[in-house]
Structure 1
Amino acid sequence: MLPEVPPALARAGDVGVVIEGNAEAGVVVLGAEIMGMAQNGVTVLPRERLVRAFRIG
């Protein structure tokens, strides 16, 4: 199980969750941005969209 951290403390390589429409979507923290899959492929969003974050490593 991954330890949950406040989204503001997520660092590059951590994973997180954003709300897109009525669904949750998994993302990877890049730094100031996050990356995840969308219907048309990979999308990059501002990290402020994180609602949950989990520490990797």
Structure 2
Amino acid sequence: MGSGRLDRLVDTVRGYTDRAVSENPRIAYTRDWDRFRPLVPDQGRRAAAPRLLRME
């Protein structure tokens, strides 16, 4: 596992990114992902959670 300091840094960055996207787009992306996931063939792998990318 990572060091305590690195884990705190990762948690801080996740908090920043969570606050960077408003709730409505997050809900919409999650719903889209839930509709998409069944279309992905099961190859013994767990589907990754959706991640939001901010493009400027």
TM-score over 0.5 (shorter chain)? no
TM-score by structure 2 length? Answer: 0.24
TM-score by structure 1 length? Answer: 0.24
Rg larger in structure: 2
Tell me which of the two structures has the higher relative contact order, counting C-alpha pairs closer than 8 angstroms and 6 or more residues apart: 1
